Each structure stands twice: as structure tokens, then as C-alpha cells.
Amino acid sequence: MKKFVMVAFLLLTVVQAGGITLTGTVVSDGQKMIGSRYMGYVKKVYVKLGDKVKREDDLYEMESAEFDIMKTQANLMLEQSQIALEYWRDRLRVINRKKETMKKKQGITGFDWDDLEGQVENVKAMLESTKIMVKHAAEQVKEMAVVFNYLKMKAPADGVVVQKNIKVGDMVMPGMLTIMIVDTENLEIDVSLSEGIIGKVHEGQRLTVEIPSLKYKTIGTVHAIIPDANPMTHKIKMRVTFDKGDLNIFPGMYAKVTIPDQK
């Protein structure tokens, strides 16, 4: 008898006259995991657990001394290559003017026309080479600008900080999870279905949703029916969307959904 009661408790499925009631968990449709792309020390942390943040709000900032040097070097390389480019352009203009002048003064003795043509070709080659240097330097400057965007991490969306794994002075490694933000406005209920119930639900179906701890009831809609990642469980996942109104409903809360009787 005790074993039977335990199994019934684990299944958490109650067949009522008004339909089949299943238990589930409130989950967020938007969960953002913030990680670092570069190694460095945390300089400032602007948020704490439970803080509500808006998109583009500052989350934390990393030390930038090393990156400042890299940025200065990239800017200097771009500036020098641009100066060199302008020099070779001026040099080409001077030689071309000389070439035009020599054309007008044909018959001048002692003038080596082939030497002048060779100078033009050499300057053109240097000009093209310098253009490539400028392009490469400009790409490095853009890359450093992207790096600096990742030194001061910003919130990618509105939400609540539910996990914070860093504090000032911590060393951050590439790929390390630093902060997790959860959207508390767009919530869904995650429900596991057994094979015997799958035929009673379909996408778009309206169900009764209940949050027992708040004594809140509303009507939800089946958003998706998803196969479980583990085929050995013989379970199907169902996601139900609902309107939480102005209540403080958060991910992780216990919920119930009722599938109406099929008549």
C-alpha cells in the first residue's frame, strides 16, 4: 500500500472529474548566460543577486591595462601606415608630373626615360603594398574596439540576476559563466507527459493553469510539445504559456495545469 502511494506521489497526476491535472514547474522563456571571451581580472561589478536590469545596463567591467596597450599599438600602426600611404601617393604624383614635363621636352640629351618608368612602377608597387598595410591596421583597430566592448559587459536583455559567479579581483577565464539573467515577464510552465496522455493534448489547446502558492488561476495555451532528450524516460515535454499579471511569479515555482475532458 505504501509503495502504491509513493508511486502515485511521484507521478503527481490526478484524474479528476473536470479533467486530468498535471504538475509542472514555472520556467523562463528567456535565460541569458553571460560569459567572458577574454582572460582578465574583474575591476568592477555593478549588480548583485536579485537585481532587475534593463537591456544595455552595465553588469561588470574587467581590467583594461593590457588591452589599453594593445589598442594604442593598433591605433599607432594605423596612423603610421596612413602616413606612409600619403607619402607614396605624393611621390607618385611628383614622378607623374616629371614624366609629363619630360614628354613636352622631347629631345633632351642625357635623360634616361626607362629609369623614370622604372621609378613609376616601383612607387606604384609600394603604394599597393601600403594600402594593404592600412587595411590590415584598420581591421586590428576594429578588432580592439570589439574587445573593449567585451571588457565592460552589458545586459543583453531585461531580466533579473539569478546567478553571479564573480566579485572584484577574481580572475575570469574565456568561456567562464559569470552572470545569469532570467526574464521574469515571459514565463511558461514545463510539464512532463506520459505516453497515455499525449493523445489528449495538442498545440494551441487552452488549459487551466494554477499557481497553488499564490492561489492564482488563469487560462494558458499549449505552446509546444517536445520529445524528451532521454528516450529511456518515455516522457514528453509540454510547454504552456500564461499571463502572470502583476503577481510575483518566478521561475522554479510549483504549478498545475488541467487538461479538460475530451467529449
Domain ranges for the chain: 2-29+186-260, 34-58+158-182, 65-151
Nearest to 252 by CA among 23, 29, 33, 26: 26
pLDDT tier at 111, thresholds 50, 70, 90? low
With beta carbons less than 8 A apart as the criterion, state whether 130 and 88 touch: yes
Give the residue from 34, 71, 8 showing the smallest Cα distance to 175. 34
Spatial contact of 242 and 218, defined as CB atoms under 8 Å apart:
yes
Average pLDDT in the chain: 83
- 249-258: string of b/e by CB count within 10 Å (b at 16+)? bebebebbbb
What is the CATH topology of the domain spanning 2-29+186-260? Elongation Factor Tu (Ef-tu); domain 3 (2.40.30)
Amino acid at 244: K
**pLDDT, tens only, 1-15:** 444 334 333 344 444
Task: Quote the CA–CA distance of 189 and 208 in Å, as a whole number.
Answer: 12
Q: For residue 123, what is the DSSP state?
A: H
Q: Which letter does DSSP use for residue 261 in this model?
A: P
Q: What is the pTM of this model?
A: 0.56
Pick the range with the lowest mean pLDDT from 26-35, 67-76, 141-150, 184-193. 141-150
